[in-house]
Amino acid sequence: MIQLRSDCLVFKLANGDAIPCSVEQVTVELMGDAIETLDPDLIRHAAAAVLHYFKHEQGREYVSINEFSEALEHVLQGFGLTVKNEPETPPKQGRIVRTDLRQLACDSGKGFELHFFPCLRKEMEKQMVKSPNVICFTGLRSCVKQLVGAQRWSVRCQTLNDQIVEYLRECLHREPHGDCALVVQ
């Protein structure tokens, strides 16, 4: 068995894996941006105190991240800092807005591509007002075949398909959209 460095513990992760790591590195990861506001020596001493507690007082080398963070919180409170160990919150589900391209092609009437692209631009602007995380355009293949008037997929269909996707990308790029993603199916 390989001997651990004196400043390391083996951290058990939630998925069952175990990773040897320096307690200072784990402390930096746990504290995130808050570490910038604290004295580096204070953090180093707090991490060393937690290491000593687990290795020497409890005789352990395997520790869960949760156990380590709770012990670190206790030590930092002993130094007079107000620390609260908050569990990670799951990411929020993004807002997804959908548009059926086939229906948009039907609504554009007999103007074919000449009328379709301005309608597509208006639809993109309408969807962006909702501040979505994802804009999903569905029915691309049937939309293209309808606009071209084809029963089978052809080179002309592929060309129009690529033009629509590129146009949607350009429209999204022009909009002040933040972190909005584009999905075209």
Q: What is the DSSP string of the chain?
A: -PPPPTTEEEEEPTTS-EEEEEHHHHHHHHHGGGGGGS-HHHHHHHHHHHHHIIIIIS--SEEEHHHHHHHHHHHHHHTT------PPPPPPPPPEEEEEHHHHHHHTGGGHHHHHHHHHHHHHHHHHTT--SEEEEE-HHHHHHHHHT-SS--HHHHHHHHHHHHHHHHHHHHS--SS-EEEE-
pLDDT tens-digit map of 131-176: 888 889 999 999 999 999 899 999 999 999 999 999 998 888 887 6
- pLDDT string in tens for the chain (185-residue length): 456 677 777 777 776 777 777 777 777 777 776 777 777 788 888 888 888 888 888 888 888 888 888 888 888 888 777 765 554 444 444 588 899 999 999 888 776 788 899 999 999 988 888 888 888 999 999 999 999 989 999 999 999 999 999 999 888 888 765 568 888 88
